[in-house]
A and B are shown apart, each in its own frame.
Chain A
Amino acid sequence: MANVLHIVVCAGIVPDPLQTLEPVTGPAGPGLKNEMVLPAVLDPWAASALYEAAALAAKNPGSKLWLVSLGPKAKLQQVMMTVAQKIAFELVPIDGPIGGFPDAHSTAAVLAETIAALPGLDKAKLLLFGGWESATRGAGVTLQLVGERLGIIDQFQGVDQIDLRDDGSFEVLERVEGGKHQVSVCAGTPAVLGWATGNLAEPRNNPQTGMANMRTIMPALQKAKPTTLAPNGLRYVSVALPKQQRTTRVVKDLTPDEIAAELVEWIGAE
């Protein structure tokens, strides 16, 4: 028996990690050089959550899927030109600052307020999805804070799989140490699920889906109200990009066994 779900995915946009990213500190605090003109993508972890949400909604007819995203609306629109081709959803844009440096509490407050005000949302049917981590910064707390503000007690992080049962309960696989999963069974919605990578491939671009989405996305973007986030006294002491590790050697005439042995040794040393 299908369950009618109201799935809300919180997904920010982040600078395309493939581009050259240069941290800079300006009057407003840390940021990335030319961030507004860097190509952006949907935060990869949140994107996994979105694809899982779409698959879940498709399996449960009558379900609804919202995508709540905070960022500059011009940038949001650019990202949506790709994301909107993949799956059907209703965009709830919040026109706010770019980047991952605003205070997580302020961000969570705005997101929670927006979600609580979604027309037609039944909180009893709510599954709040998002990324376990973020490509912008690894704090990974915003989704939990949103859940707490919405009064959702059942929270799961590092989720790779959800199996919904006929009675409305569901089983969740969460990542734990050692490459294993913790299996939990939740009595039912509402719940918060912070996704790791999930198991689904990125859906293909379907221009028809994109066009259908755009009929609601464009008006939503045009109506998105500017939002400012309270700094809450947050101050960054230092900001740095992870160092790229690259140790290339040119070695000839090594057998596959020798290469494998060296790789095992290298992995063991890490």
Chain B
Amino acid sequence: MSVETTPADSPAPEFERQTMEVDIACAGFGPAMGGFLTTLTREWSEHPEDPAFESKVAPGMPLQVLCYERADDIAAGVSGVVTRAQGIRSSFPHLNPAEIPMAVEVKRERVLYLLDPIGASRRSLTLRAADAVLHTAGRLFGLKDHAFELPWTPAFLHKHGGLVLSIGQFNQWVGSQLMATGLVQIWPGTPVSAPIFSEATSKDDPAEEAVLGLRLADQGVDRTGAPAGGFMAGMDVRALLTVVGDGPVGAVGQAIDKRLGLPPGHAHREWALGMKMVIELPPIESDQDSTLEPGTVWHTFGYPEPEIFGFLYVHPERLVSVGIFVPSWMGDPLRTAYRYLQHYIQHPALWRYLKDGTLRSWGAKSLEESGKRGEPFLAGDGFARIGEGSGSTNMLTGSGVDEAWTTGTQLAEAVVELLRAGKPFTRKNLSATYEARRRASWVERGAREAENARNGFHGGPRGSSMVKGMIGMALAGLTGGRFSFQAHIPPPHKQIALRAPSFSRSLRKGWDTSSQTAEGLQLKQAVDLAIADGRPLHDALLTARGWPEIPFDGRLLVTQQDALLIGGKVQAIPGFADHVVFLNKQLCIACVEKTCIAMCSGQALTLGDGGVPAFEREKCVHCGACLWNCAQSPDGEHSNIDFRAGSGGLHSAEN
């Protein structure tokens, strides 16, 4: 038996560990696992006497199904989503959104192109010219609040009949029903450090691919993972089937990818950071000219940067989810989501409604945007992959939750079929049942249509790539994926500097603050500001670029640390090791971009002594942005940052 761990400073010491045998061990509780466990327990509840649901590891007992979740509550999920809810409604045909707090049916959808009212956005000349035309003929184009509403949007973008949800509340609703059945156990606050692999005799030995269960994270350790006071070695949970649903940056999924590799031609190269706020709208004033009806959905693009997409979803009870997606293909090492989010909500089209609102919640997560191209091996001996980490997200329709849920239901149907047939959970059997169901489903059809839909965003200068990307999406969407642009998509670390703007070129020149060019002067100004204020350089650089300082009001416009505390309610249980580890410190020291710091959602990464970023586990929201915002790569493909299993993170139930 061996456990896959990523090399760090020193090899992980081996300890005697407690071992437990179960039938099914699950890593991560999100929509995919919700779909899996809901479908499994429903079939089990309807056929309680069926011998298929008797435990194989504990004869005479019911099937032993355990699910381990890192977050300290199953409601600590991140994402305010709009979804067609096709798969979710299949599982709950009589679903009443009123039963789920913050849920409502989609009533109205708008797509808005946001112009830059400030003039700091990194727009290409072409885009600036187009903006000028829109401004000049504003009345003709229906321009209002620096926003242009697209008169028509293609059907593939629509979510009519779908739901606006808070994933935290949805997970809580699903989890409550699951636990009420008494058939499965969901253990929060329990990070899984790695899968347990069978010992391989040779590289070609198929047994190498067998997963035997999960190893839970060690507790009572210091930052490096060495035993400290109250040490407790993580337990080995050996299982006949390991269900991997720990998301795109989960430790189990990453370890399996590392061990088995990805199918030929597949790679995790496209990412985005989704960062959002849940805002309580101010009371309606009698003279207000319009209100936001629950179920209203806005999709926006063009601001604060051409590459950044945004959204506004209106929940019941005057709550809205507002957020942005900062993609990996935004070729700017200075990208910093929180500052951009603050500028985004102040855009006149949104600020009209949000001004005087109150921050209720805040969160961030990485989205695996490779879709089909990032799909790992879906099944192997003893394991199956579901959800976002299995490449199910559809980047054409911008939909992931429903797809994730559906992959979970498909696996559950397959598991029940195999249990009833008395067949083991081998790669062959799981492929013939789970994978076959998935390949024949709408999830797979959508994934194929979306496979090349976003190619247009890669290549070309900023601004123009946004336009080309939108055309590419329309092309793929309207032709069912038959037509699309071709593109070579480089690894994430190469995308950071691919279309490096002037600032990063200046940075690369060696911090030449003596330059008399406009760029050099701006850089000098930023450095002076950072030194004087003690603020992160990337924040000062945005100010130097012309982005105005944020007028903090202590209620909605708050510092990033206040967003962590007031919004995310971020927690970190003591006694766990650092889960962000810098593999080759020399690469960090030599790194000029330090984009991991700029994009850290929780300001958990700061500039440390000697040039290696310093990590504060207590501030980490486990978004995983550092993993793909690393400008260095030890092997030319993967990041220099190891993102491991950790405890805590966001604690808000309203995300």
- Which A residues contact B (CB, under 8 angstroms)? 16, 18-20, 34, 36-39, 74-75, 77-78, 81-82, 85, 204-208, 210-211, 214, 218, 221-222, 246, 248
Contact = CB atoms under 8 A, between A and B. Distances in A.
A211 B20 contact: yes
Interface residues of B, number: 41
A118 B22 CA distance: 32
B187 A208 contact: no
B189 A82 contact: yes
Nearest to A207: B235
Interface stretch (B87-95, B178-186, B378-386, B394-402): B178-186
Contacts of B172: 37, 39
Nearest to B571: A18
A71 B189 CA distance: 22
Contacts of A205: 187, 189-190, 219
A207 B180 contact: no
A248 to B, nearest CB: 7
B176 A78 contact: yes
Contacts of B74: 78
Given A18-B651, A207-B18, 18 more contacts: A18-B571, A19-B654, A20-B652, A37-B172, A39-B172, A74-B176, A74-B180, A75-B176, A78-B175, A81-B186, A82-B72, A85-B189, A85-B190, A205-B189, A205-B190, A207-B20, A207-B216, A211-B20
Given A81-B186, A82-B189, A204 B232 contact: yes
Nearest to B191: A205
Given A18-B571, A39-B172, A74-B179, A82 B188 contact: yes
B176 A214 contact: no
A38 B653 contact: yes
Contacts of A36: 176
B176 A37 contact: yes
A180 B651 CA distance: 35
A18 B569 contact: yes
A16 B180 contact: no
Contacts of B187: 81, 85, 205, 207, 210
B652 A19 contact: yes
Contact of B173 (A37, A208, A210): A37
A38 B651 CA distance: 12
A20 to B, nearest CB: 6
B18 A208 contact: yes
Contacts of A246: 554
Given A81-B188, A85-B187, A204 B220 contact: yes
25 contacts: A18-B569, A18-B651, A19-B654, A20-B652, A36-B176, A37-B169, A37-B173, A37-B176, A38-B653, A74-B179, A75-B176, A77-B179, A77-B182, A78-B74, A81-B186, A81-B187, A82-B188, A85-B187, A85-B190, A207-B18, A207-B68, A207-B187, A208-B235, A218-B182, A246-B554
Contact of B654 (A20, A75, A81, A82): A20
Contacts of B216: 207
Contacts of A81: 179, 185-188
B575 interface: yes
Nearest to B220: A204
Q: Would you list the 9 A-B pairs with minimal beta carbon distance, nearest first?
A: A39-B73, A18-B569, A34-B101, A74-B180, A39-B75, A204-B219, A77-B179, A207-B235, A208-B18
Contacts of A222: 182
Interface string B140-153: 00000000000000
B24 interface: no
A218 B182 CA distance: 7
A47 to B, nearest CB: 14
Contacts of A248: 554
B265 interface: no
B551 interface: no
A204 B227 CA distance: 14
Interface string B197-222: 00000000000000000001001100
A256 B455 CA distance: 55
Contacts of A75: 176
Contacts of A20: 360-361, 652, 654
A34 B235 CA distance: 36
B230 interface: yes
B237 interface: yes
A204 B180 contact: no
Contacts of B219: 204-205
A39 B653 contact: yes
Nearest to B229: A201
A77 B184 CA distance: 11
A39 B72 CA distance: 10
B190 A207 contact: yes
A208 B182 CA distance: 18
Nearest to B216: A207
A171 to B, nearest CB: 27
A170 to B, nearest CB: 27
B575 to A, nearest CB: 6
Contacts of B100: 37
B173 A206 contact: no
A18 B316 CA distance: 22
A182 to B, nearest CB: 31
Contacts of A221: 182
Nearest to A84: B187
Interface string B567-591: 0010100010000000000000000
A143 B87 CA distance: 48
B653 A19 contact: yes
